[in-house]
Amino acid sequence: MKNMLIRKATPKDDERVKALCLTDNPKDFVPGIWPVWMAGKNTTNLVAVADGRIIGCIYGEIISGHDAWAQGLRVHPDFRKRGIGTKLMMALESDLFQMGGKDIYANIGAFNEASLSTVLKLKWRIDTHFIRRRSKPTGRLQNQPVLFSRDRILKLIHGSPILASCKKVAYFQRAYFSMTNHYIDQAFRKNTIRVSPDGRAYAITDLETDPAKKIWVVAMAGEAPGIQWLLESFMGDAGRLGVELVIDSTKNHLLQSLMDKLQFCPPEKNGHYVVVKKDLSEVNTNF
């Protein structure tokens, strides 16, 4: 499209971004979180504009060290398949590269062909798949969090036998990134790391989610008995608080059957995701 430009979003655009997202999907989560993304420190929010009208948007962030994150790509239904999604993504990659990003990640619904073809054509690679599952509330299980010293947990996280990114017992979102010290520091500060009593498994809940509203486990690694203890511990918390428990995990057979045994709901059709990744430094000559 000749008369289309991509520029930084401003808070004045918030309402129009909201309208854009809701055109296609009245339940879209992006309008709710867009102002939070706008207020973030290491974020970049871009909009595509044609004839004064906002027809596309995207957000990215340097999430930890040199790891970047992309989310919220939306193009108005009337303007799709004209290269706008691609241009937004390229502009975002360029911004994040200039902000110090090296590896960029995103999650895409496994059946979202439009989005997958957009990134694959830009030379993103499929890194892994994960499944989102929810547990039915139960108040019966009462496994209490165990306190471990910071040093012991760090050893556990960095220890080769159970490093999430190597063993891939289960992981999702930021934890499969480099598990940088910065990320781990934040997790400690926010008390989002939980370790099994045998010290052989750990789980991390989302840094941003309010545990009084939802418990969202974004990374788990370790050996089966410890993982089972952790799952039961979160189920107990969720039951007590009366909140939803969401677990994102790899397709690992052992882990999935453990969740079946604990009567987690089977994954929904839209609960299958692809993690995609691109090394920005390989392609920075494009910018």
In the complex, the residues that contact ligand COA under the rule CB under 6 A are 24, 73-75, 80-86, 108, 112-115, 117-118, 121
Nearest to ligand COA of 111, 188 (CB atom)? 111
Output the smallest distance, CB 221 to ligand COA, in A: 25
Output the smallest distance, CB 268 to ligand COA, in A: 17
Nearest to ligand COA of 113, 260 (CB atom)? 113
Output the smallest distance, CB 181 to ligand COA, in A: 29
Closest to 123 (Cα-Cα) out of 285, 282, 287: 282
Output the smallest distance, CB 59 to ligand COA, in A: 11
C-alpha pair distances (Å), 236 with each of 135, 141, 148, 254: 11, 4, 20, 21
CB 57 within 8 A of CB 48: yes
Residue nearest to ligand COA (CB): 85
Q: Within 13 A of 201's CA, how many CA atoms are on the CB side?
A: 24
Nearest to ligand COA of 69, 234 (CB atom)? 69
Matching residue, tokens 């994150």: 69
CB 42 within 8 A of CB 62: yes
Output the smallest distance, CB 13 to ligand COA, in A: 17
Nearest to ligand COA of 73, 246 (CB atom)? 73
Q: What is the DSSP letter of 145?
A: P
The three-class DSSP label of residue 57 is: strand
Nearest to ligand COA of 62, 276 (CB atom)? 276
Locate 49 and state its tokens.
């504009």
Nearest to ligand COA of 22, 154 (CB atom)? 22
- Three-state secondary structure string covering 153-203: HHHHHHCHHHCHHHHCCEECHHHHCCCCHHHHHHHHHCCCEEECCCCCEEE
From CA 117, how far away is CA 123, in angstroms rounded? 10
Output the smallest distance, CB 185 to ligand COA, in A: 29
Output the smallest distance, CB 81 to ligand COA, in A: 4
CB 153 within 8 A of CB 195: yes
Nearest to ligand COA of 118, 252 (CB atom)? 118
